Amino acid sequence: MRIHQYERVWLLASMVLIVGFIATITYGAVGLGITMVDDRGATIAPDEINEDERFGDPRVEQVGDDEYEVYAVAMTFAFQPDPIEIPADSEVTFYVTSRDVIHSFYVVGTNTNTMVIPGEISVVTVEFDEPGEYGLICTEYCGAAHHEMEGQLAVLE
Ligand code: CUA
């Protein structure tokens, strides 16, 4: 069977596009280290957050020489704790859950952004080498004041 030349060109072009799309997604997920909600996190009942030993008192906890854990809670329309303060040159693991609806936890200007789903605990580990001030915002529409949902992350000297 003979394939018309134009058809062959278009066939080839569409295959190149498909491979290109797959390569882009793979690069985004693996190459840039973009983290989706994964199964490292556990589950938690949103109405039991106040009694939970981690999230009942949202906080920063030192767990090693340069290692910290942050237990953060997202809600309409704030993050707790706020501000989050950690020292520079540290590795920080954020555990984030939601009290009510779906939010996100985006550290502005970095590639740290995780969805925060009620009932789930999102886990993201980030290294902060330099001191600086970061904004935290929510990138999932969560209600009338979604655009005002923000917090502060301070990386101290
Ligand atoms: Cu929380 Cu948008």
Report which ligand 1 atom has the smallest distance to the Cα of 75. 1
Q: How far is the CA of 122 from the centre of ligand 1 (A)?
A: 15
CA distances from 54 to 29, 58, 67 (A): 29, 7, 17
Q: Average pLDDT, whole number, for the chain?
A: 91
The whole-number pLDDT of residue 35 equals: 57
What are phi and psi for residue 148, nearest 5 degrees?
Answer: -100, 0
Rounded to whole angstroms, the Cα distance separating 123 from 97 reads 9
Question: In the predicted model, what is the mean pLDDT of residues 64-71?
Answer: 96
| 111, pLDDT greater than 90 | no
Question: Ligand 1 pocket: which residues have CB below 6 Å?
Answer: 103, 138, 140-142, 146, 149
| 31, pLDDT greater than 60 | yes
| 38, pLDDT greater than 80 | no
Ramachandran class of 31: left when φ > 0, alpha when ψ lies in -120 to 50, beta otherwise: alpha
* Interface confidence (ipTM) of the complex: 0.98
